[in-house]
Amino acid sequence: MKLLDGHGGFLERTIEGMHAGLERAVAAEHSAAGGGLLQRLDARVKVVGLLSLILAAALATRLWVIAAIFALAVVLAVLSRVPLRVLAARAWIGALAFTGAIAVPALFLTPGVALYRLPGLHWTVTAQGLTTASYLLLRVITAATLALLLEFTTPWVQVLKALRVFRIPVVFVAILGIASRYILLLLETAHEMFESRKSRSVGALEGAERRRMAVGSAGVLLSRTFQLSGDVYLAMQARGFRGEVHLLDDFAMKRLDWLALAGFAALAAAAVWAAR
């Protein structure tokens, strides 16, 4: 039963959004367990390598450099068994729609050399406008692809532990880990709450009613959050937690890892140098 928009459409959309979130987490986990190229590398190499490519794309002042990094990202994706349709669905479409809409006015608004005048309207596309829109779109899509690659080739617990490479305090890594673990739980709790409210709401709801429903769910979720936090605190103490966090990771650099790291470093450096 599809509810009409404006009559609980917000419930539908929220449920869909949560469902999509949960589903993405599962898909990423599944992909990260696959046997592609990137999956075989040490998480630290991937974190440092992919992030430096994102940085290189951000620093580039030549369009072709960004395009080259993008092409590289796509190749890495294919080699890591992340199919193009997954990239398109999860990274490109959203980014293009959003940034595309934002970039279009820039075609006309950026002062510079006129290129083409739209027939009918008096809007002129400038060369600079075209360039700037391209920078924006290319950078957004390249960064989105690289970020997705990290997400889909590395179990997120390993990504977190790899962050220690950047000297991020252990306590933050621990908090990130525990928070991620409970996000899934709270998402499901919220999902169930909304599903049950949806099934109980017959017909159209007044605006104020709907707001109350949404806010009430948030309130219930908040209470549950605090309750859980109190119980988890006890559970942590019961196992010896005294405030200091200790992590154990399984990281070990193999030859392939060193090679990959060198490869990433060389590519990033080349990109930065080429764009001078």
Partner 1 sequence: MMLFETAHLTYRYDRLTAVEDLSISIREGSRVALVGANGSGKSTLLRILDGLYFGQEGAVRFRGEELTEERFADDAFAFSFRRQVGLVFQNADVQLFNPTVFDEVAFGPLQLRWPKSEVRERVHEALERFGIAHLKDRVPHRLSGGEQKRVALASVLVLDPAVLLLDEPTAALDPRSQSQMIDLLVEWGGGAKSVITATHNLADLEDIADRCLVLDGGRVVAEGAPAEILRDRELLERTNLVHAHRHRHRSGEAHSHPHIHSGDVERSD
Partner 2 sequence: MHIPDGYLSPATCAVLYTGAAPFWYVALRRVRKALHTRLVPLISLFAAFSFVIMMFNLPLPGGTTGHAVGIGLAAVVLGPWAAMLAVSIAIVIQALFFGDGGITAIGANCFNMAIAGALVAYAVYRILAGRAAIGSARRVMAAGLAGYVAINVSALLAAIEFGIQPLLYRDATGAPLYCPYPLSVAIPAMMLGHLTIAGFAELTVSAGVVAFLQRSDPSLLKTTAGRGAALAEPAAGRAMRPLWAGLGALLLLTPLGILATGSAWGEWMARDFSNPAVRHEIAATSFQQAAPLRAPEGLARLSQIWTAPFARYAPPYIRSAAFGYLLSAMFGAGLIVLACLTVGRLFGRKEPAT
Q: Which of residues 137-156 bind partner 1 (CB under 8 A)?
A: 155-156
Task: Report if residue 86 touches partner 2, rule: CB under 8 A.
Answer: no
Q: What are phi and psi of 192, to 5 degrees?
A: -60, -45
Place of tokens 């200790």: 246
Cβ nearer to partner 1, comparing 16 with 29: 29
Q: In the chain, what's the furthest Cα-to-Cα distance?
A: 74
Tokens representing 195?
């599903």
The C-alpha atoms of residue 197 and residue 11 are separated, in whole angstroms, by: 9
CB of 36 to partner 2, least distance (A): 19
CB of 189 to partner 1, least distance (A): 10
86, 186, 267, 270: residue in contact with partner 2 (rule CB under 8 A): 186
The C-alpha atoms of residue 73 and residue 23 are separated, in whole angstroms, by: 24
Please check whether residue 129 is in contact with residue 36, taking contact to mean a CB–CB distance below 8 angstroms: no
The C-alpha atoms of residue 49 and residue 268 are separated, in whole angstroms, by: 8
Task: Report if residue 184 touches partner 1, rule: CB under 8 A.
Answer: yes
Span interacting with partner 1, options 4-12, 103-111, 125-133, 179-187, rule CB under 8 A: 179-187
69, 133, 160, 205: residue in contact with partner 1 (rule CB under 8 A): 160
Chain centroid to CA 16: 17
Cβ nearer to partner 1, comparing 95 with 160: 160
- Contacts to partner 1 from residues 228-247, by CB under 8 A: 228, 231-232, 234-242, 246-247
Residue 242 identity: R
CB of 236 to partner 1, least distance (A): 7
Task: Report if residue 170 touches partner 1, rule: CB under 8 A.
Answer: no
